[in-house]
Structure 1
Amino acid sequence: MTEYTPIGLGPGTEPVAALTHSGNFHADETLGYVILHYALAPHGDLRGRVLGEGPGDRLTFTRSRVPGRIQAADIVFDVGGVYDPAAGRYDHHMKNKPLREDGTPYSAAGLLWKDYGRAAIGNMLAEPVDDAMAAAIWQAVDKALILPVDQDDNGVAKMGRLSLAEIVSTCGAAWDTAELHGGEEAARREMAGFADAAGIVARYLAGVVDRARASLKAADRVLGAFARAEDKRILVLETGMPAEKVIFERDLPVVYVVSPAGGGQWNVKAVPPARGEFGQRVPLPEGWGGLEGRALAEISGVGDAVFAHPARFICGAGSREGALAMARRALAIGAPRVP
């Protein structure tokens, strides 16, 4: 816990002036602005605030390198040469830069996430969650999104092509914009590009937060279903949800996941040998691969069998009972029973 109250998160609703640098922009400061938006003024105009358009709200935002403007702002991030969160200063470019516990340097977004992330999460979720769930969501988003931005911005590890960092960069004006269109138009395009990037990052962050919430909810349900399973190799889920993450993190001996697939159909999906890999711990029977309907029903012995993929990683039936029967018969053919 911090020993200070981050600026703007106290009981008052006083205006807050935030500032980052002008010029070329990256995922770091764009994400930092989005975090402050959700934490302090989530109902404000994210884009209009950048462009100085639309109705004002509690949060004002400036992009500048002018020392006087930097000094006057309440919250300054990614510029200014100072990390003093109690004073609203969140730069990370100094020699003694702030580091994570594992030694990874923070970006400005990472520093703001530390102080404002939980407030942002609270304002982003459609339904309130308890403190434990909020902390778990914060940690999941920190690992999935904030840490990679920290690493990319500090030259530790690139996020790579088609990453959020790359998408943000493409929102910026090309290097010769001033040469082709003049300085005033180049400045306008730079600001519009930041506004565009902020909209993309805001939508992405909202999606990451909601997926983290849903993933934690799924983990509870998967573990509950596993506890109830008669054969621990077959996991039956009454609703479609991600299960692979929990299976590998908890080292569960699940071989097949049975779940509804829409239209009354139920599928059996084989678990891979390692998370994210192709292949299966136990493939579906070789004779099933590529068959459909009556042919599959005859060879599998399951009357409502619908299909089996040629790669033998998924098959389906017209009912929960049929899919469960296919999973059991596949195991009887392909794997010994787990004690």
Structure 2
Amino acid sequence: MSEHTPIGLGHEARTITALTHSGNFHADETLGYVVLHYALAPMGDLRARILDGASDDCLKFQRSRDPAHIHSADIAFDVGGIYDPSNGRYDHHMKNKPLREDGTPYSAAGLLWKDYGKAAVRNLVRTQVDDETINAIWLSIDKSLIVPIDMDDNGIAKMGKLSLADIVSACSPPWDTAELHGPEEAKRRETLGFANAATAVASHLVNTVDRVRASLKATDRVLAAYKQAEDKRILLMDTGMPTEKVIFEHDLPVVYVVSPTGSGQWNVKAVPPERGAFGQRVSLPEAWAGLDTQALATASGVPDAVFAHPARFICGAASKDGALMMAKRALEIDAVLQK
């Protein structure tokens, strides 16, 4: 929690100028700009500010290494050699760089997320949520997205191929652009590349905020369903939603998840031995593998059985009662085999 009011989040009735460096760009400062956009002026034109300096709202954006421009900006990030958030300075390239409590050095994106992230999240969440939920979304994204960018930008651990950092880098023009097209065209393409990168990062952040919000909602639903379950090995969900994350984070002994599909069918999905792994804690019966409709109904004893995957991790029935019966029968068959 900031001990100061970040610039632009008070009651300033003026346009705030934010600045980062020109030249090569990375996920760090690209995300930093996107965070400021959603925190301070979410209804503005994110691309227009970059491409032509348009600012019809309370945020103006510049990319420059000119000391005079850096000095005059209200917020300067990833450039300037100063970390002084009370005065809008968010660089991290100094010898005594700002560190997280665990010693991980911040990137500029991390420093801006610390001060402006919750405001950005609040403007991005489209449904009514309380401050506790805003904080939970902010913290989840800090851990899953911001910390990896901090580590990548500070040379601790690369985010890897097809990561957000890699997508941003792919927006940069090739090294020989000036050689082939001249310095002015190279500068234009660099600016366009930053705008494209910011657009991609903005889309990712918008989707991530909404997915984290939904994930927190799913956690409450899954835990409530587990509490009501007669057999704690079978989790019955009345709506399809992600359950694996909650099962492993809360160490639930769930073996099968029963839930509806969009087509009205009900599925039984086996929980893997570890989160994200292949295999199952308890595989579906071998005698069901690859069967469907009447053949599966005969083998399982469930009249409305629809299918059983050959890999024995999922099966389904036409009704909730049928799917529950399949889950119970599968556990009974496994118990016999274990004896």
Structure 1 residue 53: Cα displacement:
5.4
Find the residue that maps to 1:262 and give its secondary structure.
Answer: coil
Query: 1:169-208 alignment to 2 at 5 Å?
Result: 169-208=169-208
Structure 1 residue 322: Cα displacement:
0.5
Q: 1:4 to 1:317 in 2, by over 3 A?
A: same
Please report the TM-score for the alignment, with normalisation by the length of structure 1.
0.98
Aligned residues: 336
Query: 1:244-323 alignment to 2 at 5 Å?
Result: 244-323=244-323
Q: Which runs of 5+ in 1 are unaligned?
A: none
Structure 1 residue 3: Cα displacement:
1.7
Alignment partners' CA distance in 2, 1:85 and 1:54: 26
Which residue in the other structure is 2:125 paired with? 125
Q: 1:13 to 1:289 in 2, by over 3 A?
A: farther
Which residue in the other structure is 1:332 paired with? 332
Is 1:90 matched up with 2:115? no
Aligned 8 A contact 2:234 2:327 in 1? yes
Aligned 8 A contact 1:282 1:335 in 2? no
Alpha carbon RMSD of aligned pairs, Å? 0.9
Deviations 1:96-138 (A, max 9, x none): 1111111111000000000000000011111231111111010
Alignment partners' CA distance in 1, 2:103 and 2:224: 37
Which residue in the other structure is 2:218 paired with? 218
Aligned 8 A contact 1:49 1:56 in 2? no
Which residue in the other structure is 1:141 paired with? 141
Aligned 8 A contact 1:20 1:78 in 2? yes
Which residue in the other structure is 2:22 paired with? 22
Deviations 1:257-307 (A, max 9, x none): 000012210000000000010000000000111111100000000001010
Matched letter for residue 166 of structure 1: D
Aligned 8 A contact 1:240 1:260 in 2? yes
Is 1:76 matched up with 2:76? yes
Alignment partners' CA distance in 2, 1:297 and 1:223: 32
Alignment partners' CA distance in 1, 2:125 and 2:288: 44
Please report the TM-score for the alignment, with normalisation by the length of structure 2.
0.98
Matched letter for residue 36 of structure 1: L
Percent identity over paired residues: 70
Structure 1 residue 54: Cα displacement:
4.8
Q: Which runs of 5+ in 2 are unaligned?
A: none
Matched letter for residue 262 of structure 2: G
Alignment partners' CA distance in 2, 1:41 and 1:194: 19
Structure 1 residue 12: Cα displacement:
3.0
Find the residue that maps to 2:261 and give its secondary structure.
Answer: strand
Deviations 1:312-332 (A, max 9, x none): 000000011100000000011
Alignment partners' CA distance in 2, 1:305 and 1:7: 61
Q: 1:308 to 1:13 in 2, by over 3 A?
A: farther
Deviations 1:46-81 (A, max 9, x none): 000001255522100000000000000000000000
Alignment partners' CA distance in 1, 2:274 and 2:109: 32
Aligned 8 A contact 2:305 2:316 in 1? yes
Deviations 1:196-233 (A, max 9, x none): 00000000001111111110000000000000000000
Which residue in the other structure is 1:66 paired with? 66
Query: 1:159-170 alignment to 2 at 5 Å?
Result: 159-170=159-170
Deviations 1:176-199 (A, max 9, x none): 000000000000000000000000
